[in-house]
Amino acid sequence: MQFQMNKDKLLYHLVIAQKALSNKTPNPALTGIKVDVFKDRILLTTSNGEISILKTITDPSLQVEKEGTVLIPGRYFVEIIRKLDGQNVLLSAHENNLLKIEADHSDITLNLLDVEDYPKLLFKESAESVKVNVRVFKTLIRQTAFAASGVENRPILTGVYFKLDGNQLTGIATDSYRLAKKSIELDQIYAPMDVIIPSKSVEELGRILEDNQKSVELHFSPSSILFKYDDTLLLSRLLEGNYPETSKLIPLEFPHEVTFNKEQLLIAIERASLLSSRDGQNAIVKLEIRNDDAVEISSSSPEIGRVLEEIQPVAEVKGNPLKIAFSSKFLLDALKAFNSSEIKVGFTGEIRPFVMTGEYDPDMLQLILPVKTD
């Protein structure tokens, strides 16, 4: 195997491929990047058992002198290419399972892994696929995946539930304390389908997708889903089981409604969480709607002090005075998911879920369960 190409172009593809590299695995082969060199293209393959990526390189700078397949230690390979000087890089495989990397004044030798140990991965496209606008799909991912559970005691909640119905694709994520839901409209009608994709897979896809008007294709199979975007294929396993019925959790009527400027509310919550009696992600903040329709955001710690922020709603307040407490992290995560500058919050009671919506975030809502305080 021997080829040369522009160093920066190679690094660009490697950075995407390495997103599926495995750090801790009983199979050392999964720490490597499988490189298949053909006359007109190069294939980069990585896998961590959860997701697998196949990247195709057909760059004008690519010059293949000898075809072949090698398995290169992934982290070392990417960092070496990243730190090389010069415009072009030459890679060649030699006897004794060695890879030679040459660029400008650098001459580096790297021990290869045994390519025979690499698992056989099947990036199979289905006969029919679902096409989604990339920018719209990135928005769906950004506004839902963060709400999935990071705890494995209920594995099904570590995934994002996707439901396809006609020309509407809905994504839902919940960790049982909060819920994010977003629906998008597709350009054509598809057969009904629903799958549960690990949130980590969905988030990695979101990082790979660029902000453009191209399409990403979704290819479904019984146990996996394949995403095709330009010259990148991402294969993810699916979670087995029934996703909980979440529609019954979402209130339909709100006795109390307050509309906030998003940035003002976000900053007030951030400041209040600094002195919460609970640290970090467990910080609890209190919200009070006063008789004069002003809103107080507060937190306190007996050992440190107290924070009191006052916010004026941007519209007339609906309902009577109310006091409620909640996780500041959950509210901040939800606020950051919105594109709207004004957020309407509908409250149903002091210990019942509240819902957040935005005028410029159609078919999206964020739900948070309050917490009891003394």
Question: Using one digit for the tens of pLDDT, what is the confidence trace for 114-152?
Answer: 999 999 999 999 988 999 999 999 999 999 999 999 988
Mean pLDDT to the nearest integer, 219-234: 96
Can you tell me whether residue 305 is helix, strand or coil?
strand
Question: Is the per-residue pLDDT at 30 higher than 70?
Answer: yes
pLDDT at 278: 64
Percent of the chain whose predicted confidence (pLDDT) is above 70: 98
7-17 and 74-83 helices cross at what angle (nearest 10)?
150
Determine how β-strand 215-220 pairs with β-strand 224-229.
Answer: antiparallel
Mean pLDDT to the nearest integer, 259-284: 84
Residue partners of 370: CB distance under 8 A and separation at least 6: 324, 325, 326, 350, 351, 352, 353, 354
Residues 340, 145: Cα–Cα separation, whole Å: 19
pLDDT at 280: 55
Q: What is the average pLDDT score of the chain?
A: 94
pLDDT at 25: 78
pLDDT at 203: 97
Question: Using one digit for the tens of pLDDT, what is the confidence trace for 332-372?
Answer: 999 999 999 999 999 999 999 999 999 999 999 999 999 98
How does residue 281 score in pLDDT terms, banded at 50, 70 and 90?
Answer: low
pLDDT at 39: 96
pLDDT at 277: 55
> Is residue 89 a contact partner of residue 127, using CB atoms and an 8 Å limit?
no
Question: Is the per-residue pLDDT at 275 higher than 80?
Answer: no
- When mean pLDDT is compared across 66-70, 91-95, 236-240, 304-308, the lowest value belongs to 304-308
* Vertex 324: Cα angle to 320 and 327 (nearest 5): 150
Mean pLDDT to the nearest integer, 248-256: 93
pLDDT at 182: 98
How does residue 330 score in pLDDT terms, banded at 50, 70 and 90?
Answer: very high
pLDDT at 109: 96
Question: Is the per-residue pLDDT at 86 higher than 60?
Answer: yes
Mean pLDDT to the nearest integer, 98-115: 95
pLDDT at 373: 77
pLDDT at 224: 96
Q: Which domains does the chain have, with CATH numbers?
A: 2-117 (3.10.150.10), 130-246 (3.10.150.10), 250-368 (3.70.10.10)
Q: State both tokens at 260.
A: 């906030």
Question: Is the per-residue pLDDT at 107 higher than 90?
Answer: yes
User: Where do we find the tokens 């928005």?
Assistant: 139
262-273 and 328-336 helices cross at what angle (nearest 10)?
150
User: Where do we find the tokens 């990695």?
Assistant: 204
pLDDT at 124: 93
pLDDT at 374: 64
* Cα torsion 166, 123, 56, 20: sign: positive
pTM: 0.92
User: At 11, which helix (H) or strand (E)?
Assistant: helix 7-17
Question: Using one digit for the tens of pLDDT, what is the confidence trace for 182-219?
Answer: 999 999 999 999 999 999 999 999 999 998 889 999 99
